[in-house]
Structure 1
Amino acid sequence: MTRNILFIMFDQLRWDYLSCYGHPHLHTPHIDRLAARGVRFDRAYIQSPICGSSRMSTYTGRYVHSHGATGNGIPLKVGEITLGDHLRKAGMGCWLVGKTHMRADAEGMARLGLEPDSLIGARVAECGFDVFERDDGMFPEGPDGAYDPDGAKTYNEWLRDKGYDTDNPWHDFANSGLDAEGNVLSGWFLKNSPEAANIAEEDSETPYLTGRGIEFMQQAEGPWCCHLSYIKPHWPYIVPEPYASMYGPEHVLPVVRSDAERQNAHPVLKGFMDTKIGQTFSRQDVREAVIPAYMGLIKQADDQMGRLFAWLEETGRDKDTVIVLTSDHGDFLGDHWMGEKTFFHDTSTRVPLIIYDPSPEADATRGTVCDALVESIDLAPTFVEIAGGAVADHILEGESLMPILRGERAETRRDYVICEYDYSASPLAKLLNVSVRDAVMFMIADKRWKLIHCEGGFRPLLFDLENDPQELVDLGESAAHAEVIAQMYDKLFQWARRPSQRTTRSEAQLIGMRGKSGRRGIVLGVYDENDTAPELTVKYRGRSAKPWQEIVRPKG
């Protein structure tokens, strides 16, 4: 059966803010129903706790260490093979509706003469996708201009056509409230998070992108992969009614942190705690303003999933479409004295992942929960296998999840997951007086332990995930855990030694090359012509030639 892939990604959606993952107040029945029809993965991890580099790992199937796009604004270099490249080779189109946070390698494209308006150039500039609509969903403006001049470009034009007529309706309506005097209450200011966004709910960002996703599928000719990539519940934290009033401080879960955690914090972790974001989200009044809005954004997203899934069922597309739902990272929301996502607690690095496969081969696993260690880089090889292609495992560093979806395996082959973060361009690197080379961190975790290594001569951090699942007690200085730390470093070193840059020859090709040079005239270590197979030296035996003196005439 030919299948399509609907690849849904939310931005900054915590894994534990869905009812199927255990949230007690935030009920998400439509996403829960998808989980009941598919497999819910309970230990899915991203490869970097920030939008851009996390997504580049998902779109390439490669670790950050391999693809090199280490942060927001760091281009994915020309030559990196993407999901779209793999899928088109297998005969499947690969289309974008929404966000990628991709920054094109303009210098590399110019060096190779790739014009951005050519077919190949456009794909290279758009992370391998053909674009139905790109909407990175951010059009903030400051004294030095816009953060992203093309952000929310089509959406802003659409809003103006509907009468939301300002120079930036993305901000003034979709992401701000309004007071009784008509003053815009900017969603950038967290005190305004409880306000209702001044926009008709059906015109806000999440319903808009749902509609665009449906429009794509209505006209698409398969097989196709549609990356429906939502902007929310990423900040600005503000949502229109009826969602703005659905939750209040009484629905805000107790914060996960301790005084000892902060007092004994590792220097790098303390740096993140002491940022403006960390200090702000450490305040309970901020959490009580922001989290109800964050929950409202998720509730709206779930309702839009209900709209989307109903359309799929009404049109029969659910019978031939694999649905994958995940997030690019989480959100601390004040846990561990931090906001945002740029550290390695599960709050940030663990994400929801649900896969529904309509094929009969997946019937045995419907409604199950998988405890395997899974990484976001596993999606690319999974999609290639769905498309019927051969997985290029010398390029793709993840592994296909199809054996798990079909009930053939319960675990992946790996025994650890990896996450990386490069903070060299952040103010924290200056605050810690860390060089660009040393402003990098690595997380390696298995089901029991999580080790965090920080370059720059810092000690490691260690968390016991079994006895301290909230990751409040750092055991990095514990002499009793020295052996565990050494074992985790051995795993990290093993990972670092992988030949990840050897992407031009497959394993089968390398095996086939063994000994081939001898059949092309290379004779090494042979003392006598009879010491090797005669067929290998046939060009070097039984030959005759004249002395050079008879050929070269004396000069003069």
Structure 2
Amino acid sequence: MAAPKNILFIMFDQLRWDYLSCYGHPSLQTPHLDRLASKGVRFNRCIIQSPLCGPSRMSTYTGRYVHSHGASWNNTPLKVGELTMGDHLRDLGMSCTLVGKTHMAADSEGMRRLGLEPDSVIGARVSECGFDVFERDDGMRPEGPDGLYDEGGALKYNEYLRDKGYESDNPWHDFANSARDDEGNVLSGWFLENSDKAANIREDDSETPYLTRRGIEFMEQTDGPWCCHLSYIKPHWPYIVPEPYASMYGPEDFLPPVRTEAERDTDHPVFRGFQQSVIGKAFSRDDVRDKVLGAYMGLIKQCDDQMGVLFDYLETSGRMRDTMIVVTSDHGDFMGDHWMGEKTFFHDASVKVPLIVYDPAPEADATRGTVSDALVECLDFLPTFVEVAGGDADKLDHVLEGTSLLPLLRGGHPAEREQVICEYDYSSSPLAGKLDLDPKEARMMMVATKAWKMIHFESGHRPMLFDLVNDPDEVTDLGASADHAAVIDEMYARLDAWARRPAARTTITSEEIRKARTAGPGRTGVLIGIVEEDELPDALTAKYRGRKAPDMTT
């Protein structure tokens, strides 16, 4: 074992924290991820920075809150000037390569203004979160009356499927994400009624095994030090999976939904609006939830089996000895909890994600197989990677808003974070229109400690509050309780302090600022507040003494 030379950063899409057996799921066994946890640290309180793919990932890739980087919705471009994972690591001599999904939207207008060509090396990196791309696959190639959702979605994967004999103009949909009836009709995975059917594809050709092979192909052809972001598409919708996984789980394996009638009767317009959305209504139906949940669990089981393939490769190739492995998700999935589907709210089903970190360094031996209860944010990953690459994350504190996890991984005792922050800008959603909200008003923020979680609504609606100690399922909203006014005041004080942080000053380091304080009079001739010329050393005033000039006033 040695200090990590490489980083394998694995991210699943829409994977709930509590749907792995190492996190306590009673029937969904995930032995390969459990094995990794036994060799590393499993974190119990890892919180994302936005409950939506794009902004969550942009926070992870920049190490900055959504409030800072500004890419607050899917396909909202990340500003050209934002430093990303690839930028930081490449400066330290570590390559940074993408295999899979980012949901990154390039700032094409900013690139045009600066004269950056998208097909140049710099332009390509700016367009891809700083990553060099081995294969980008956001896993989305749906097509409607206005065309494709993503022109670049699943292009190479579709080529692969056609080479394998899956004849279609869009095999991603017709085979990988749909079933087939006895007459040969395609039963689209977009329709939840088909989620309990098997995808019409050989399991080895489906998306998760395909991306595993692509990740291994990258690692086989590269030398370190490298960071590989192996970013899986599943268990994100469409919720459909091939056999043998389609038949693995039934109602006897399902956890009951976490929800109460009191929640359904809420007087909160925003919370009620998300419950009454098309997605919320669908997942509130037990028949729909049962169909989807079987597929969702099957997709997760397939993901874990592919982790077995991947970890076996790392072991046999010797890379396990010098590669840090980080496994997480970009957000969770309500799956009918709290009368909602998808992920766009702040309960733990959505904002808490699994995090398993394996560090091969001998210094991490003392923490192997342990569980950390520390509050962790996904923007902590990048400072960690900077330090693995040999950098000093503290010297980047003017840009990176997270904290390195290395002290936690290696038995140190860092100052614990007291709160976590999550943000959601829903100004582009139908709900914002139904509530007649200005885009500036359709935003909400979550601040949480280990004891309390508060949700602030910029629309002026009252906050929501949950007692995480006595109500860990978050079913009782105390936001309107006069008895909890002091707690709400305390949480607002935390949120206000966070909002006042100096997030915009990113071009000069804190270290440079500290040096400027003690530098004394400069040597560039600027003298302010000096009364007599002998107050300063002669060398600093030599250019102003003993000079002659003619009278030019007449």
TM-score, with normalisation over the residues of structure 1? 0.97
Across the aligned residues of Structure 1 and Structure 2, the Cα RMSD in angstroms comes to 1.3
* Residue 101 (str. 1) matches residue 103 (str. 2): yes
* Residue 393 (str. 1) matches residue 393 (str. 2): no
Residue 518 of structure 1 deviates from its aligned partner by 2.7
Residue 456 of structure 1 deviates from its aligned partner by 1.7
Question: What is aligned with 1:524?
Answer: 528
Question: What is aligned with 1:492?
Answer: 495
Distance of 2:110 and 2:440 partners within structure 1: 23
Residues 177-211 of structure 1: CA deviation (Å, up to 9, x unaligned)? 01011111100000100000000000000000000
Instruction: Indicate the SS of the match to 1:372.
Output: strand
Identify if the C-alpha distance between structure 1 residues 541 and 148 changes in structure 2 by more than 3 Å, giving closer, same or farther: closer
* Residue 460 (str. 1) matches residue 463 (str. 2): yes
Residues 146-179 of structure 1: CA deviation (Å, up to 9, x unaligned)? 1001111100010001100100100000000010
Residue 541 of structure 1 deviates from its aligned partner by 5.5
Residue 515 of structure 1 deviates from its aligned partner by 5.2
Percentage identity across paired residues of the two chains: 67
Identify if the C-alpha distance between structure 1 residues 528 and 423 changes in structure 2 by more than 3 Å, giving closer, same or farther: same
Question: What is aligned with 1:170?
Answer: 172
Counterpart pick for 1:249 among 229, 248, 251: 251
Instruction: Kindly report which structure 2 residues correspond to 1:315-354, keeping only aligned pairs within 5 A, or say none.
Output: 315-354=317-356
TM-score, with normalisation over the residues of structure 2? 0.97
Identify if the C-alpha distance between structure 1 residues 185 and 412 changes in structure 2 by more than 3 Å, giving closer, same or farther: farther
Instruction: Indicate the SS of the match to 2:232.
Output: strand
Distance of 2:54 and 2:112 partners within structure 1: 22
Distance of 1:5 and 1:190 partners within structure 2: 37
Question: What is aligned with 2:421?
Answer: 418
Question: What is aligned with 1:218?
Answer: 220
Counterpart pick for 2:234 among 229, 232, 235: 232
Distance of 1:226 and 1:51 partners within structure 2: 19
Distance of 2:184 and 2:256 partners within structure 1: 36
Residue 535 of structure 1 deviates from its aligned partner by 4.6
Residues 363-419 of structure 1: CA deviation (Å, up to 9, x unaligned)? 00000000000000000010111111222221111010000100012x653210000
Residue 458 of structure 1 deviates from its aligned partner by 1.2
CA contact (8 A) 1:7 1:325 kept: yes
Distance of 1:171 and 1:535 partners within structure 2: 79
Instruction: Indicate the SS of the match to 2:374.
Output: coil
Distance of 1:133 and 1:155 partners within structure 2: 9
Residue 478 of structure 1 deviates from its aligned partner by 0.9
Identify if the C-alpha distance between structure 1 residues 2 and 482 changes in structure 2 by more than 3 Å, giving closer, same or farther: closer
Identify if the C-alpha distance between structure 1 residues 259 and 63 changes in structure 2 by more than 3 Å, giving closer, same or farther: same
Distance of 1:268 and 1:336 partners within structure 2: 13
Distance of 1:271 and 1:320 partners within structure 2: 49
Identify if the C-alpha distance between structure 1 residues 318 and 546 changes in structure 2 by more than 3 Å, giving closer, same or farther: closer
Distance of 1:393 and 1:79 partners within structure 2: 17
Question: What is aligned with 1:131?
Answer: 133
Residues 268-298 of structure 1: CA deviation (Å, up to 9, x unaligned)? 1111111000011111001111001000000
AA in 2 matched with 1:449: W
- Structure 1 unaligned residues grouped into runs of 5+: none
Distance of 1:195 and 1:452 partners within structure 2: 38
Instruction: Indicate the SS of the match to 1:371.
Output: strand
Distance of 1:350 and 1:340 partners within structure 2: 14
CA contact (8 A) 1:249 1:289 kept: no
Distance of 1:164 and 1:374 partners within structure 2: 43
Question: What is aligned with 2:505?
Answer: 502
Distance of 1:542 and 1:252 partners within structure 2: 86
CA contact (8 A) 2:4 2:361 kept: no
CA contact (8 A) 2:533 2:541 kept: no
Distance of 1:254 and 1:445 partners within structure 2: 25
Distance of 1:13 and 1:390 partners within structure 2: 31
Residue 261 of structure 1 deviates from its aligned partner by 1.1
Question: What is aligned with 1:277?
Answer: 279
Question: What is aligned with 1:156?
Answer: 158
Residues 209-250 of structure 1: CA deviation (Å, up to 9, x unaligned)? 000001011101111000000000000000000000000122
Residue 252 of structure 1 deviates from its aligned partner by 1.6
Residue 307 of structure 1 deviates from its aligned partner by 0.6
Residue 525 of structure 1 deviates from its aligned partner by 3.1
Distance of 1:397 and 1:84 partners within structure 2: 17
Distance of 2:191 and 2:539 partners within structure 1: 76
AA in 1 matched with 2:487: V
Distance of 1:80 and 1:535 partners within structure 2: 44
Identify if the C-alpha distance between structure 1 residues 277 and 543 changes in structure 2 by more than 3 Å, giving closer, same or farther: same
Distance of 1:522 and 1:105 partners within structure 2: 40
Instruction: Indicate the SS of the match to 1:373.
Output: strand
Distance of 2:129 and 2:274 partners within structure 1: 30
Question: What is aligned with 1:92?
Answer: 94
Residue 513 of structure 1 deviates from its aligned partner by 1.2
Distance of 2:415 and 2:48 partners within structure 1: 15
Residue 108 of structure 1 deviates from its aligned partner by 0.5
CA contact (8 A) 2:4 2:324 kept: no
Question: What is aligned with 2:475?
Answer: 472
Residue 528 of structure 1 deviates from its aligned partner by 3.9
- Structure 2 unaligned residues grouped into runs of 5+: none
Residue 522 of structure 1 deviates from its aligned partner by 2.9
Distance of 1:145 and 1:62 partners within structure 2: 33
What is the total number of aligned residue pairs between the two structures? 549
Instruction: Indicate the SS of the match to 2:190.
Output: coil
* Residue 115 (str. 1) matches residue 143 (str. 2): no
Counterpart pick for 1:442 among 428, 441, 445: 445
Counterpart pick for 1:368 among 362, 367, 370: 370
